[in-house]
């Protein structure tokens, strides 16, 4: 009796000692356990969607809206996955598949992750155009995309490195894709995605970012002209030792103008020229310099062509900000093999200017439809030559009519060329050219006017504005 009681007591003591010690080994809640951040949820789709809300799939315009579904037979180590049926190129409901997955609710804090990963396989070997994240049809601020992803017929893991997770405090754009049939001769195929989630792999190395594709580019501008930072990429080395290039949005970068008085650059990489001079635009990401730069050579204030004063009712306009323009096929036909002229059109204070560089000759065409100028009496064009004019220099202005067939050739085309030389031809000043149709006898008709051709270039630059017919 005594023994039993004693044994029970001892046993109880032993047990309670263990219990006490066990509970006293529990960690206490840390002081920052109740930090108020957005949810740090990693999973997007595993066996089902996680934390996406109910209305989260938004297809792109022109894509087949029903391309996506949930497959309850296929899966990576499961039997559930997302299924994407990329349509035939002639599918009336949309000729490609593409959409964003945007959280229906609060965005996520992704600062502790370093990659978006998923498993993918396809019904045949294909190249998927784009996979990425960060597009929310709102600001689309922190987009990152990998392109031309090779997908086979068995499951393989895709890793999209996050360029700078510290910026992703509240992200709704979880995933995006675009897939077409350019590589499958227009024939439909299927691909599946499973285990879509953010991860902290720790096995990705940042190799380096670049703007302007790593080149030191330069551009000539005027005060008020905008330039864009393009060619924005970042290269990462994946855990398998392969490099992965990520196309990313400007918001990941901090931009700097070496001479802010010459040009400013905003957080979106939009450069605005402010005064004459030179500045170099560079960028850093996550504190590390990106390779490449954009040098702005600003010539100062731009002299605009005289503003047209005629009434719209008296004008058929090909190119002018003062009038409604007729449909134009092109402002530069790039007529191979002899044309050297390259267009570098710019806009200054909402005034659009045609800028022909390396100018030898160039054609402007407006043949769909052609222009009936029977009620017009003159042709007008403003031209500006910034460089010097050599002795004997000509500028020839040719007006072309396509004839009754309304098409190039056919034996019914006519044209007239008017030649301008010094003293009319000057540099550094707008020249207003007005040619009456009565002075263009080579034009047998003006019912189907279709082209303006400029000739006599010396390989330098000419600006053109306010191209129109009038009466």
Partner 1 sequence: MILKYNTIKYLTLTTSMFVIMGCSSDEKQTVTTMNQLVMQDEFDEDGAPNSTYWSYNIGTGSNGWGNNELQYYTDRPENVVVEDGMLKITARRELYMGSNYTSARILTKGKVEQKYGRIEARIKLPLGQGLWPAFWMLGSDIDEVGWPACGEIDIMEYLGNNPTTVLGTVHGPGYSAGESISKSYTLPNSRFDTDFHIFGIEWGEDYINYYIDDVLYNQITPEDVPGEWVFDQPFYIILNMAVGGNLPGSPNAETAFPQTMLVDYIRIYQ
Q: Where are the beta strands (DSSP E) in 152-261?
A: 156-161, 173-179, 189-199, 205-210, 216-221, 226-228, 233-237, 243-248, 253-257
- Site stretch for partner 1 (CB under 8 A), options 15-23, 80-88, 147-155, 318-326: 15-23
User: How far apart are the C-alpha atoms of 129 and 150, rounded to whole Å?
Assistant: 9
Q: Does 21 bind partner 1 (CB under 8 A)?
A: yes
Q: Which is nearer to partner 1, 187 or 207 (CB)?
A: 207
The residue within the footprint of partner 1, chosen from 17, 170, 230, 388 (CB under 8 A), is 17
Kindly provide the b/e burial profile for residues 100-116, where b requires at least 16 CB atoms within 10 angstroms of the residue's own CB. Answer: bbbbeeebbbbbebbbb
Q: Does 7 bind partner 1 (CB under 8 A)?
A: yes
Q: Does 289 bind partner 1 (CB under 8 A)?
A: no
Q: Does 201 bind partner 1 (CB under 8 A)?
A: yes
Q: Is the dihedral of CA 324, 341, 276, 305 positive or negative?
A: negative
The residue within the footprint of partner 1, chosen from 40, 72, 157, 205 (CB under 8 A), is 205
- Minimum CB distance to partner 1, residue 94 (Å): 38
- Minimum CB distance to partner 1, residue 385 (Å): 45
User: How far apart are the C-alpha atoms of 415 and 412, rounded to whole Å?
Assistant: 10
- Minimum CB distance to partner 1, residue 292 (Å): 17
Q: Does 22 bind partner 1 (CB under 8 A)?
A: yes
- DSSP secondary-structure letter at 251? G
Question: Counting beta carbons within 10 angstroms of the beta carbon of residue 464, is it exposed (0 to 12), middle (13 to 18) or buried (19 or more)?
Answer: buried
User: How far apart are the C-alpha atoms of 319 and 379, rounded to whole Å?
Assistant: 12
Token duo for residue 154? 């068995």
The residues with which 470 forms a beta bridge, in sequence order, are: 315, 378
- Minimum CB distance to partner 1, residue 237 (Å): 6
Q: Does 12 bind partner 1 (CB under 8 A)?
A: no
Q: What is the CA radius of gyration of the chain?
A: 32
Q: Which is nearer to partner 1, 40 or 205 (CB)?
A: 205
- Minimum CB distance to partner 1, residue 6 (Å): 7
- Minimum CB distance to partner 1, residue 24 (Å): 8
Q: Which is nearer to partner 1, 241 or 337 (CB)?
A: 241
Q: Does 72 bind partner 1 (CB under 8 A)?
A: no
Binding mask 23-62 for partner 1 (x = CB under 8 A): -xx-------------------------------------
- Minimum CB distance to partner 1, residue 131 (Å): 22
The residue within the footprint of partner 1, chosen from 62, 241, 391, 423 (CB under 8 A), is 241
Q: Does 202 bind partner 1 (CB under 8 A)?
A: yes
User: How far apart are the C-alpha atoms of 250 and 229, rounded to whole Å?
Assistant: 8
Q: Are 451 and 400 in contact (CB under 8 A)?
A: yes
**In sequence order, what are the residues at sequence separation of 6 or more whose Cβ sits closer than 8 angstroms to the Cβ of residue 121?**
76, 151, 152, 153, 154, 155, 156, 191, 192
**In sequence order, what are the residues at sequence separation of 6 or more whose Cβ sits closer than 8 angstroms to the Cβ of residue 420?**
394, 395, 396, 397, 431, 433
Q: Does 3 bind partner 1 (CB under 8 A)?
A: yes
Q: Does 240 bind partner 1 (CB under 8 A)?
A: yes
Q: Does 10 bind partner 1 (CB under 8 A)?
A: yes
- Minimum CB distance to partner 1, residue 183 (Å): 24
Binding mask 74-93 for partner 1 (x = CB under 8 A): --------------------
In three-state secondary structure terms, 179 is: strand
Q: Does 239 bind partner 1 (CB under 8 A)?
A: yes
Element (H, E) at 423: none
Cis-peptide into 337, omega within 30 deg: yes
Q: Which is nearer to partner 1, 213 or 278 (CB)?
A: 213
Q: Which is nearer to partner 1, 243 or 374 (CB)?
A: 243
Q: Under the rule (CB under 8 A), what is the footprint of partner 1?
A: 3, 6-7, 10-11, 13-14, 17-18, 21-22, 24-25, 200-203, 205, 237, 239-241, 243
């Amino acid at each position: 009796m005594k023994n039993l009681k004693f044994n029970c007591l001892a046993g109880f003591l032993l047990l309670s000692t263990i219990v006490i010690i066990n509970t006293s080994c529990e960690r206490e809640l840390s002081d920052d356990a109740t930090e108020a951040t957005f949810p740090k949820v990693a999973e997007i789709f595993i066996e089902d969607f996680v934390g996406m809300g109910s209305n989260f799939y938004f297809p792109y315009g022109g894509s087949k809206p029903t391309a996506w579904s949930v497959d309850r037979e296929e899966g990576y180590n499961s039997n559930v996955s997302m299924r994407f049926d990329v349509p035939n190129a002639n599918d009336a409901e949309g000729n490609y598949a593409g959409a964003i997955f945007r959280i229906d609710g609060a965005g996520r804090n992704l600062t502790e992750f370093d990659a978006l990963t998923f498993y993918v396989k396809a019904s045949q070997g294909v190249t998927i155009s784009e996979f990425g994240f960060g597009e929310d049809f709102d600001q689309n601020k922190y987009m990152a995309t990998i392109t031309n992803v090779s997908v086979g017929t068995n499951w393989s893991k895709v890793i999209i490195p996050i360029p700078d997770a510290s910026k992703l405090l509240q992200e709704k754009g979880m995933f995006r894709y675009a897939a077409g049939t350019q590589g499958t001769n227009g024939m439909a195929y299927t691909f599946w995605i499973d285990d879509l989630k953010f991860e902290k792999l720790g096995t990705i190395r940042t190799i380096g970012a670049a703007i302007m594709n790593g080149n030191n580019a330069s551009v000539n501008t005027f005060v008020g002209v905008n330039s864009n930072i393009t060619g924005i990429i970042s290269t990462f080395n994946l855990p398998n030792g392969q490099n992965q290039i990520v196309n990313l949005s400007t918001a990941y970068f901090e931009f700097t103008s070496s001479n802010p008085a010459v040009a400013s650059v905003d957080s979106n990489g939009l450069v605005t020229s402010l005064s004459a001079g030179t500045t170099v635009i560079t960028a850093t990401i996550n504190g590390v310099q990106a390779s490449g730069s954009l040098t702005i050579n600003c010539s100062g204030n731009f002299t605009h062509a005289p503003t047209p004063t005629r009434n719209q009712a008296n004008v058929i306009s090909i190119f002018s900000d003062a009038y409604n323009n007729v449909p134009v096929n092109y402002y530069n036909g790039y007529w191979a093999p002899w044309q050297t002229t390259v267009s570098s059109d710019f806009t200054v204070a909402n005034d659009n200017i045609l800028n022909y560089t390396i100018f030898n000759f160039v054609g402007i065409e407006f043949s769909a439809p052609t222009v009936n100028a029977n009620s017009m009496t003159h042709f007008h064009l403003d031209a500006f030559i910034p460089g010097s004019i050599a002795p004997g220099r000509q500028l020839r202005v040719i007006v072309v009519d396509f004839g009754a067939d309304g098409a190039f050739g056919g034996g019914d085309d006519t044209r007239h060329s008017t030649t301008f030389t010094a003293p009319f031809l000057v540099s550094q000043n707008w020249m207003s050219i007005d040619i009456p149709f009565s002075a263009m006898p080579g034009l047998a008709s003006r019912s189907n006017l279709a082209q303006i051709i400029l000739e006599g270039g010396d390989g330098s630059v000419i600006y053109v504005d306010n191209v129109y017919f009038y009466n």
